Amino acid sequence: MTAGGLPTEERRVVVKEALSVGIATGAYGISFGALGVASGLDVWQTCALSLLMFTGGSQFAFIGIVSAGLHAAPAAIAASSLLGIRNGLYALELTQLLGVRGARRLAAAHITIDESTAVAVSQSHVKAARLGFWLTGVTVFALWNLTTLVGALVGNALGDPRAWGLDAAACAAFTALLWPRLKSRDAVAIAVVAAVVAVLLAPATPPGVPVIVAALAAFIAWRRPRQAAQGAEVEVPGDTTESEVQP
């Protein structure tokens, strides 16, 4: 049986994956809401950032400017710009996959984030990818804004968000997405290279830089084996018999 053009079992898997990622990531909005009001914003200003900006890294960078003063602006702007670049790259990847136009294109652009992209590109079929993108994006958007409001209302009563493990929610979601795809030695090696690069750069670079450099390192590591394999492919001419030789 099929549902929405997808086999029922495959649809169930995609829905489960999308909701798992969406719920784990959406919960992290509590920390942004709490930090927003702690930095001097009121509840509505904090909620407006999540509603209109809706890109976690840039939102936290903005909060950094508000809380630390204008002297922190250059680093925060640089970090948010670098974080925004990846969303542009995601859009290039997803444009053909989603095939949306008009108002749906604007909606898709707004929810093109790490989580919706990751779930979409992890699917093996176009229909599954589209379902995963929309369900993940809408779930994260709804819960992120709801939990931002909750975090802003409870404010300092929540305490340190890290004590609740909310700072690790997004990382846990991505690890859950990545783990099943590490089915070959090459995939494991590329993941290790990216992780090592990110860990080495994290203490000395602004937020966002380790992720971008690690992604570049992973891309280079992925391309080299492919190029080597292509270089090893040599066209072997067919055998020529005497009867095929023209006088």
Return the amino acid letter for 33: G
In this predicted structure, which of 6-10, 16-20, 60-64, 90-94 has the lowest mean pLDDT?
60-64
pLDDT tier, 1 (very low <50, low <70, confident <90, very high otherwise):
very low
For the ranges 31-35, 156-160, 184-188, 196-200, which has the lowest average pLDDT?
Answer: 156-160
pLDDT band at 93 (very low <50, low <70, confident <90, very high): confident
Rounded to an integer, the average pLDDT of 118-125 is 87
Q: Which residues pair with 7 in a beta bridge?
A: 2
pTM of the model: 0.67
Q: How confident is the model at residue 166 (pLDDT cuts 50, 70, 90)?
A: low
d(CA 153, CA 150): 5
Cβ–Cβ under 8 Å, residues 29 and 141: no
Residues contacting 100, CB < 8 A, separation 6+: 107, 108
Output the pLDDT for position 135. 95
60 or 137: whose pLDDT is higher? 137
| Residues 6 or more apart in contact with residue 68 via CB below 8 angstroms | 76
C-alpha to C-alpha distance for 151 and 158, rounded to whole angstroms = 7
The answer to whether the beta carbons of residues 31 and 40 sit under 8 Å apart is: no
Task: Examine the pLDDT at 244 and tell me if it is beyond 60.
Answer: no
Percent of the chain with pLDDT over 70: 68
* C-beta of residue 36 within 8 angstroms of C-beta of residue 148: yes
For 81-209, strand residue ranges (E) read none
Is residue 80 within 8 Å of residue 72, measured between CB atoms? no
d(CA 80, CA 62): 8
CB-based contact 116:87 (threshold 8 Å): no
Greater pLDDT, 21 or 57: 21
> Which has more pLDDT, 100 or 70?
100
Q: For residue 57, what pLDDT band results from cuts at 50, 70 and 90?
A: confident
Task: Give 70's pLDDT tier (boundaries 50, 70, 90).
Answer: low
Residue pLDDT, tens place only, 177-235: 566 667 778 778 888 888 888 888 888 876 667 777 877 777 676 665 555 555 544 44
229 versus 103: which is more confidently predicted? Answer: 103
Looking at the DSSP bridge assignments, the partners of residue 6 are 3
